[in-house]
Structure formats: structure tokens, C-alpha cells
Structure 1
Amino acid sequence: MVEILRRLRINTRVLLLAVVGLAVAALLVLTAVGGFRTQLEAGQRSQAAMQLTGEVMEAKFRTADMAGWQTGYAFDFARRGRARCRTPRVSASSSSPRRQPCAPSTRPSARGR
């Protein structure tokens, strides 16, 4: 290999070295572009996953909030009865009936029997 290079003129050797350098530089650029694309796609997938996580957390919160409200209402209904939980009361500050939490029951609970 060295003998072949020695037989070439200096201009040819410099030109060959420049071509090899450009080929290596082109290979590096292509590798960088491929890596950049991969990174860009990973960023987009990560962003979509973060958005989905936010929506799931909101749905989880709303479900827990609704389940808690329903559970509390069911316990009030079981303890105080249907009539006390459905009767709207008139607030002192307004003349329109408004649903308020169930009034405490004066009758003994089923557990005390």
C-alpha cells in the first residue's frame, strides 16, 4: 500500500487525502442527522406520553372526587333516611329552596338496636 502511494504524484496524494476527508465528514454528518431524527421522535413520544399522563391524572382525580361524593351521600342516606336527604331547605339569606346536606337524624341508628 505504501509503495502505491509513493508512486503517485504529490498532487494526487493530496487530492486523495481530501476526498477521504470529505467522505469521513459526510459519514459523520449522516450519522448526526440520523441521531437527530431519532432524538426528535423520542422527544415527540415523550411529550405525548406526558400529555396522556396529565389527562389520566385528571380523570383519576375526577373519578375519586365523584366516588367520594357518592359514598358520602350514600352514607347520609343510609343513616338519615330518604325524606331527610331529599327535602330541600330554605336558606335564611335567600328565598329560594336550596339542597343542603342532610340534617342530623334524631332517631336511633340501626346499630344501636
Structure 2
Amino acid sequence: MQKPFALSLFLAVGLVCAGHVSAQALTGCAAKKADVQAQLEQARAHGNKAQEAKLKIAQKQLETNCTDEGLRREREADVKKKEEKVAARQADLDKANAKGKPKKIAQQEKKLHDAEAELKDARDKLAQ
């Protein structure tokens, strides 16, 4: 009795992992569409009609407007914007260091760290 349970558990885990891998293989608009579809199914499962309606609108807009080239351009522009923000935060930190005020330096270091995290996220999205 124990072996069939273990086998079925192994198969179930394998199917879940296989589904996860195939979803991860999607890129660009296909990945966005799959993500919206997954959210739509989740909203339906929880009976969230308002969220379901919003996601249906998003799904239609993706079908109509999303192109991989356009998405790439948007993501490249976002990366450029984030790079400029990092540069500005670095300049602010340099000024704070020149003044030598520890509290201001700590604030600017945090802002720079946050901007660098945003830049990393934008670059990760661009790579998708």
C-alpha cells in the first residue's frame, strides 16, 4: 500500500515541476499572456469577479497590442531610465560623502541600493 502512494506522489510532483518548467520557457508576450491566464484562473477559483473582469480586459489588450519587439523596446527604455536613476543616486551619495554627514550618507546609500535593485529587476525583465 505504501509503494503506490509514493509512486503517485512522485508522479504528481513530476507533473507540477514539468508544468513549471514549460511556463518558465515562455518569453516576451507569450509569458505575459500565460501570466495573465494563470491570474485569471486564480481569480475564477476564488470567485473574485472584479479581478476576473480586469484580467479579461488585460488579456484582450495583450492579444491586440502586445508584440515581442514592442515589449523589448519598452523594457530597454525602462532599463535606461533605471540606469539614469542609479547614476543620479550615485551623484547624490558622492555629494553626501563630500559633506561628511553620516545620517545623510546612510540615506543616500539606501536610496542608491534601492535604485540598483530596481535596475536589476528591469534588466531581469529585459532578459525574459
TM-score above 0.5: no
More helix by share: 2
Question: Per chain length, whose mean CA-contact separation is higher, i.e. which structure has more relative contact order (CA < 8 Å, sep 6+)?
Answer: 2
Greater CA radius of gyration, 1 or 2?
Answer: 1
